[in-house]
């Protein structure tokens, strides 16, 4: 009886979180097509090239936002419906995984259809970026659960502020940075990608561990 009940809980979690993963991907496809049409009409007409760029850009943003925007909103609901806390947290990880994989496939498809496929290292970097940003977003989710809306606001302000400063500083040295990257041999770049993947994995696993701990003591409110 107990095993049957656990299987039912896991099935409900998978279906629930999987539905929202598909929803995120549908939104990404809509943005990709929309921006592809808009900017190809005003640019050089390269619909899929434009679509690939915006699919990658928006996919990264969605990977970052999804944990605290979706999971943060629906985790209390899942718990109030009687889901086990561990099952709810791990179910949310299923959503993250499905969202990242499906968004990655959309990005790859746009790249292939553009007729100008990128190098393997670019695709690996995109995959690592999606995974890293998902883990980063989950830390914001942790702050959301721990401190409420204030946790999200502070995290988003710090993140956006850091991005603005970083981009502004990077644009001032864009040519130097580009030349420096181009001067690095491929072996070093692949080693850097491997290191980035390992760091992302460690940070993600730590975030799951912290989330499990916090949710165990989380008070579900009506």
**Is pTM beyond 0.75 here?**
yes
Q: What is the 3-state secondary structure (H, E, C) of the chain?
A: CHHHHHHHHHHHHHHHHHHHHHHHHHHHHHHHHHHHHHHHHHCCCCHHHHHHHHHHHHHHHHHHHHHHHHHHHHHHHHHHCCCCHHHHHHHHHHHHHHHHHHHHHHHHHHHHHCCCCCCHHHHHHHHHHHHHHHHHHHHHHHHHHHHCHHHHHHHHHHHHHHHHHHHHHHHHCHHHHHHHHHCCCHHHHHHHHHHHHHHHHHHHHHHHHHHHHHHHCCCCCC
Q: One digit per residue, pLDDT tens: the chain, 222 residues?
A: 456 666 776 677 777 787 888 888 888 888 888 877 777 666 555 666 677 878 888 888 889 888 888 888 888 777 777 777 888 888 889 889 999 999 999 998 888 877 777 788 889 999 999 999 999 889 988 888 888 778 778 777 877 776 676 666 555 555 666 666 667 778 888 898 899 999 999 999 999 999 998 888 776 665
Give the model confidence (pLDDT) of 69-90 as tens digits. Answer: 888 888 877 777 777 788 888 8
pLDDT of residue 198: 95
């Amino acid at each position: 009886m107990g095993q049957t009940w656990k299987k039912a809980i896991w099935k409900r979690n998978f279906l629930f979180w999987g539905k929202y993963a598909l929803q995120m991907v549908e939104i990404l496809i809509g943005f990709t097509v929309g921006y592809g049409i808009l900017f190809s009409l005003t640019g050089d007409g390269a619909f899929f090239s434009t679509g690939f760029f915006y699919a990658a850009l928006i996919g990264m943003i969605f990977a970052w936002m999804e944990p605290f925007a979706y999971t943060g909103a629906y985790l209390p609901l899942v718990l109030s419906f009687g889901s086990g806390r561990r099952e709810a947290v791990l179910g949310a990880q299923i959503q993250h995984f499905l969202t990242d994989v499906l968004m990655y496939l959309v990005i790859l498809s746009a790249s292939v259809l553009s007729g100008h496929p990128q190098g393997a290292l670019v695709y690996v970097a995109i995959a690592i970026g999606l995974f890293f940003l998902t883990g980063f977003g989950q830390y914001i989710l942790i702050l959301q659960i721990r401190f409420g809306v204030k946790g999200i606001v502070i995290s988003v302000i710090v993140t956006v502020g850091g991005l603005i400063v970083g981009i502004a500083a990077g644009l001032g040295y864009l040519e130097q940075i580009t030349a420096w990257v181009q001067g690095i041999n491929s072996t070093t770049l692949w080693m850097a990608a491997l290191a980035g993947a390992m760091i992302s994995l460690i940070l993600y696993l730590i975030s799951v561990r912290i989330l499990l701990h916090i949710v165990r003591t989380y008070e579900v409110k009506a």
